[in-house]
Amino acid sequence: MHVTMNVNGEEVTGEIEGRLLLIHFLRDHLGLTGTHWGCDTSNCGTCVVWLDGEPVKSCTVLAAMAGGHEVRTVEGLERDGELDPVQRGFMECHGLQCGFCTPGMMMTARALLDRNPDPSEGEIREAISGQICRCTGYASIVRSVRWAAAHEAADREPADHEPADREPADHEPAPQKPVVLEPATDVTSGATP
């Protein structure tokens, strides 16, 4: 069968079998190997791409089902030679070790930040809960997403204004908060001297 879809902003066409999965169309027909294929059971989430702006596991979508729709892969995160803040965050905060789950994590993280520009750690963990990372323990992935969120917020701030609640990058010293000393309490009487 003949299929046409928009992939990373370009119209692509191909002759495919009706049973071909989107992951295989992207990797084998289009050569977009950034999207990884992992478990074959839709559990690991390494194959996450966007279908009409929504993250989907491309091992559960037939290529024919994507016909006429927009698909965005990890290769589509970079714009005009500039890495997406999520990609930069994964580099700055060491959000990857083996890198196998990284493309799917990045696509999910980008979708999260598009919906919620300042997610909490819990919200980040919930967003990536459908994906498995066997190396990092997730802490560095969460830090990477927070880094991206903080740097996108800083980019939205006027140049002469430093946001008060911006998290510093790993290489920046943390801002020092003033120490407020409470009056000492006399342990024997409970009175303040």
Q: Would you say the C-alpha torsion 139, 143, 146, 148 has a positive or negative sign?
A: negative
Whether 29 is covered by a domain: the verdict is yes
At residue 162 the predicted structure's pLDDT band, cuts being 50, 70 and 90, is low
| pLDDT for 191 beyond 50 | no
* 46 shares its domain with 88: no
Same domain, 112 and 165: yes
Please give the pLDDT value at position 163. 52
Q: Identify the domain containing residue 8 by its residue range.
A: 1-76
Q: Where are the alpha helices (DSSP H) in the chain?
A: 22-24, 85-92, 102-115, 121-127, 139-156
Whether the CB-CB separation of 77 and 48 falls below 8 Å is answered with no
**The pLDDT value given to residue 62:** 97
Taking the CA atoms of the chain, what radius of gyration do you get in angstroms?
A: 22
Share of the chain above pLDDT 70, in %: 81
The count of domains in the chain is: 2
Give backbone dihedrals phi and psi of 7, rounded to 5 degrees, phi first.
Answer: -120, 120
- pLDDT confidence of residue 101: 94
Q: How confident is the model at residue 179 (pLDDT cuts 50, 70, 90)?
A: very low
pLDDT at 82: 94
114 with 72, same domain: the answer is no
Amino acid letter for position 62: L
Residue 157 has pLDDT above 80, yes or no: no
> Is there a domain that residue 118 lies in?
yes
**Assigned domain for 184 exists:** no
Phi-psi region of 40 (alpha: psi -120 to 50; beta: other; left: phi over 0): left
Residue 35 has pLDDT above 80, yes or no: yes
pLDDT, average across residues 53-69: 96
What is the CA 24 to chain-centroid distance, rounded? 22
Report the pLDDT value the prediction gives residue 175, as an integer from 0 to 100: 43
Specify which residues 7 forms β-bridges with. 10, 71
The answer to whether residue 189 is domain-embedded is: no
Q: Check residue 180 and give its pLDDT.
A: 39
Residue type, 182: E
User: What is the mean pLDDT of the segment spanning 72-84?
Assistant: 95
Region 55-64: mean pLDDT is 96
Domain boundary among 43, 76, 109: 76
| pTM higher than 0.85 | no
**Domain co-membership, 55 together with 116:** no
CB-hemisphere CA count at 13 Å for 39?
Answer: 16
* pLDDT at residue 99 tops 80: yes
Whether 87 and 31 share a structural domain? no
- Whether 11 and 63 map to the same domain: the answer is yes
Distance of CA 16 to the CA centre of its chain: 30
Does residue 37 belong to any structural domain of this protein?
yes
Tell me: do 147 and 121 sit in the same domain: yes
- Whether the predicted pLDDT of 140 surpasses 90: yes
pLDDT at 161: 52
CB-based contacts of 120: which residues, under 8 Å, 6+ apart?
none
**CB count in 10 Å sphere of residue 38:** 20
Last residue of one domain, picked from the residues 76, 92, 120 = 76
The reply to whether 180 falls in a domain is no
Contacts 24+ apart (CB under 8 A), 180-187: none
How confident is the prediction for the chain on average, in pLDDT? 86
Higher pLDDT, 171 or 72: 72
Shared domain check, 164 and 128: yes
Tokens encoding 29: 């027909």
How many Å apart are CA 108 and CA 148, to the nearest integer? 13
Length of the chain in residues, anyone?
193
Distances (CA, A) of 18 to 25, 73, 169, 186: 11, 21, 47, 80
